Amino acid sequence: MIKQRTQKPGGRKWSRERYVPKRKVCSFCSDKVELIDYKEPSKLRRYLSDRGKIEPRRRTGACARHQRALAVAIKRARHLALLPYVAAHIPKVGAFAQSS
Ligand SMILES: [Zn+2]
C-alpha cells in the first residue's frame, strides 16, 4: 500500500539557482566613520525598526565592529531620550516623525 502524501498548499519549489544577495559593504567603513555619534538621533533613527528595535546586521549591512558601536550609540541616545525605547514612544506620523 502506498501512503498518499498530503501536499501542502503553497509549498514552493526551490529553484536550482541560489538566491545570492549583493555583497553589502559596511556604510560606516566606506565613510570611514571611526566613532558613531550618539548625539545624532536623526542618523541613528535609520537603524531602528518601526518598533524602536535596533536593526540586525543583515538589515543594516554594518560590519561587526560598527554594528557593535552602533548598538552602543543607540543605547546611549536612548538613555538621553533622543531615541525611543518602545514603539509607544515613537511620535506618530507628522512633522516630527522620521525627518529632521
Ligand atoms: Zn564597518
Q: Would you say residue 35 lies in a domain?
A: yes
Residue 74 lies in a domain: yes
The reply to whether 19 falls in a domain is no
Residue 12 lies in a domain: no
pLDDT grade, residue 99 (50/70/90)? very low
Task: Give the three-class secondary structure for 45.
Answer: helix
Mean pLDDT of the chain: 82
Q: Where are the alpha helices (DSSP H) in the chain?
A: 27-30, 41-44, 57-60, 64-79
Specify if 2 maps to a domain.
no
The CATH number assigned to the domain holding 42 equals: 4.10.640.10
In the reported structure, the alpha carbon of residue 19 is separated from the centroid of ligand 1 by a whole-number distance in angstroms of 24
* pTM of the predicted structure, to 2 decimals: 0.68
d(CA 11, CA 86): 36
Residue 25 CA to ligand 1 centre (angstroms):
8
Instruction: Evaluate whether residue 33 is within a structural domain.
Output: yes
Q: How many domains does the chain have?
A: 1
Give Cα separations from 36 to 10, 70, 89 (angstroms). Answer: 44, 6, 23
Ligand 1 centroid – CA 29 distance (Å)? 4
Report d(CA 29, CA 83) in Å as an integer.
Answer: 23
pLDDT tens for each residue of 24-55: 789 999 999 889 999 999 999 999 998 999 99
The answer to whether position 68 is within a domain reads yes
pLDDT, position 64: 94
Phi, psi for residue 83 in degrees, rounded to 5: -130, 155
Q: What is the pLDDT of residues 48-64, one digit of tens each?
A: 998 999 999 999 999 99
Q: Would 4 be classed as within a structural domain?
A: no
What is the domain extent for residue 59?
Answer: 27-96
